[in-house]
Chain A
Amino acid sequence: MQKNSPRFERFKLALGISLRYSRGKRKYFLSMNAFLAFVGVFVGTSLLVVVMSIFGGFQAQLKKSIFQFDPHMMLTVDRITGGEKIAGWEKWKERLTTDLGTEIESVEGNIQSPAIFRRRKFLDHVFVRGMDFARNAANHTYTIPDSFPEIVEPAGVRKIPEGDYAIIGREMALNLGLSVGDSIELIVPRGQFNLQTGVTPSIRTFKIAALFKTGHYNYDTKVIVLSLPTAQNLYALPDAVQQLVIRIKDTDQLSKIRRKVARAWPYTIRTIEDEQRNFFAALRLEKTIMVVIVFLFIIAAMVGIVIATFNIVRAHRRDIGIMKSLGFSRRNILMIFAVTGMAMGVLGSISGILAGVGLANNLESVLHGIEAVINPIGKYYAEHFSHSLWTDVRLIPRDVYYFDHLPIDIDWKLLRVLGYVSVGLSVFASIIPARKAARLEPIDIIRKAEV
């Protein structure tokens, strides 16, 4: 369309008229009709963003706690128990490291075995994990790698001494009243199973060197981490490991890398997804359902746009008659009302998404703010009138949710799709009534109006 051509002028006119129709009579920013539709879309999209972010945050947190602590791939030689020794494991480690190159974070030898835990009269079963920490010969310590979960006590320490020292989960320590420096006892089968003698138990005392926290309750109550030499010593498996564990950089590439590993490793390979199959399936299902609900939400908002645009068309039937009598074409009329509807949808979607992102990022302060408003009122009521339950409201109860802050994870990819879809749907939603407007015959409008 050429600038300043009559067609371009008519295009500008149509835009101007639709703007006036959305705005009302210069009094408000939006006319009542347009405003209500705008609010519908705005509230819908912003809530969606918040809900999606919290949901995604919880999922990401859960996934992270698992991916952070569990090995991503476990290579063993025995399909059934995984308890067989791997001969020459250090050579295998070298070979896998060179084969897989940059895609992996580490290959380590590792012992993982059940054990009985004893503290005075208390007995429980736990899992012992002997991990291949880097050794500092100079000061007789092991360095805990960055990929290991957070050490909460002593805070920030990334070293444990050589010898019989263990790292246990924070929840286990809380449950049993243990702290750093206390002793615990582990009872494990010594050596390998033998038909004639069975197994001989090995009992040993460890000092707690540190407490870790994964955010996953099962790990934080059931797993005891030792350095590999300490574990080898405990299980009487000198210089041997039961499995090779691989951590990869991009966990989304898990199945691809697994195929690569399978070419080098002729025995059993299990991945974290095999181990936690149900868990991951549940997460995926949750996500799918959430996306479906997201779209239902948007569709509901779009119905709002259709209704509002219909109302605007109905309120302007006479204007349509006038404009047609002035020679406005169907296309001009279509455009006027489609743009009016679209403006509501597009404005609502964009501002809703922005507000949702803002709210999601500050959700914790917002909730604390609400608490700060509710609690003094409840307290005042309790002091002056009668007993009130509303004196210590906590909108984020610490003891119910295992996370100590509200996890928020904004999925920008899904957000972009949400943006496209809601803008696209609002175009569609506004075109339906606009087409109806364009098809009105001036003679019908004028004759009806005069009766």
Chain B
Amino acid sequence: MIQQGLAQVPILEVADLHKTYRDGEIRAEVLKGISFIVEPGEFVAIQGSSGAGKSTLLNLLGALDRPDSGKIVIDGLELTADVKSTKLDIFRRDKVGFIFQNHYLMQEFTVLENVMMPLRAQGVNKTDSRQRAEKILQRIGLGHRMEHFPSQISGGESQRVAVARAVVKSPPLILADEPTGNLDSENRQRFIDVLNTLQAEDKLTVIVVTHEAELAMAASRRLMMRDGKIELPAAV
């Protein structure tokens, strides 16, 4: 585990996290005691072979699932095994922005409405949400696509919209699960550029799970997962 040496309050603290999936008789222990800390403004890449538990870890960090034991503290809000589902909702609403492998835009809503959605869920009124969503879309060069529906834009553009949606509410933590997995090399590069720019300009804290070197190289720190545990940092 590496400390950045700055006397800052960590934005994310993970302590001894365990998670086991059960399907009838079969038990699969996916996370076997994970601990690490992320400082504000860090860009962390989690790497590892498939089945190492990367996505499971990210789902726990994103409050999409509960840990069996251990705890996660994001921006002062604690998440443990017995957390209530209403608290999980608040966690997801206020603390994290999620970018999935498949952009996951809502098909019946325009690009702009999709980006407004997280703010509206927080209870921000329509006018303010619209302004903030328009601003972020213009920053990532999608100002001309705002009134389009997801089916009318390309996969690369959709994934950048997904970034805008994750970033628009300025959450303490942004999580991305194989965000470039479905993109061609050109779009992958543009995605990395957008993420990099936003991360640097807004001092965002980002954790990406990826097995792609290009994206991992953009990160300021890399963690390697193997068999449900975090290994020593991968060589730069």
Contact = CB atoms under 8 A, between A and B. Distances in A.
A446 B122 contact: no
A190 interface: no
A6 B123 contact: yes
A328 B89 CA distance: 6
Nearest to A318: B104
Contacts of B221: none
A9 B102 contact: no
B108 A326 contact: no
B94 A326 contact: no
Contacts of A7: 123
B172 interface: no
A4 B107 CA distance: 28
Interface string A1-33: 000111111101100000011001100000000
B149 to A, nearest CB: 7
B93 A5 contact: no
Contact of B89 (A12, A21, A327, A443): A327
B227 interface: no
B118 A443 contact: no
Nearest to A11: B123
A323 interface: yes
Nearest to A20: B108
Interface stretch (B31-39, B58-66, B72-80, B192-200): B58-66
Contact of B121 (A327, A446, A449): A327
Given A25-B149, A329-B86, A13 B121 contact: yes
A442 B90 contact: no
A330 interface: yes
Residue among A7, A323, A446 facing the most chain B CB atoms (10 A cut-off): A446
A258 interface: no
Interface in B106-130: 106-109, 117-118, 120-126
Residue among B86, B90, B107, B120 facing the most chain A CB atoms (10 A cut-off): B120
B4 to A, nearest CB: 29
Nearest to B129: A9
A326 B93 contact: yes
The secondary structure that dominates the A interface is helix
B123 A20 contact: no
B108 A25 contact: yes
Given A25-B149, A326-B93, A10 B117 contact: no
B101 interface: yes
Given A7-B123, A10-B123, A449-B102, A326 B59 contact: no
B135 interface: no
A326 B104 CA distance: 11
Interface in A381-398: none
B158 to A, nearest CB: 13
Contact of A329 (B89, B106, B126): B89
Interface in A321-361: 321-330, 332
A330 B100 CA distance: 21
B191 interface: no
Contact of B124 (A9, A24, A319, A327): A9
B64 A325 contact: yes
A124 interface: no
Contacts of B89: 324, 327-330
Contacts of B108: 20-21, 24-25, 319
Given A328-B89, A450-B102, A6 B64 contact: no
A326 B106 CA distance: 12
Contacts of B124: 6, 9
Contacts of A4: 125
B43 interface: no
B145 interface: no
Interface string B80-96: 00000110011111100
A318 B103 CA distance: 11
A220 B92 CA distance: 80
Nearest to B114: A322
B123 A5 contact: yes
B219 to A, nearest CB: 22
Contacts of B102: 449-450
A327 B122 contact: yes
A281 to B, nearest CB: 56
Contacts of B93: 326-328
B121 A324 contact: no
A7 B90 CA distance: 13
B64 A443 contact: yes
Contacts of A5: 123
Given A325-B98, A446-B100, A9 B120 contact: yes
A442 B120 contact: no
29 contacts: A5-B123, A6-B122, A6-B123, A7-B123, A9-B124, A13-B120, A20-B108, A20-B109, A321-B104, A322-B106, A324-B64, A325-B62, A325-B100, A325-B104, A326-B92, A327-B90, A327-B91, A327-B93, A327-B118, A327-B121, A327-B122, A328-B93, A328-B121, A329-B89, A330-B89, A332-B121, A446-B64, A446-B104, A449-B102
Given A4-B125, A13-B120, A322-B106, 16 more contacts: A5-B123, A7-B123, A10-B120, A12-B126, A318-B104, A319-B106, A319-B107, A323-B106, A326-B92, A326-B93, A326-B117, A327-B90, A327-B94, A327-B121, A446-B64, A449-B102
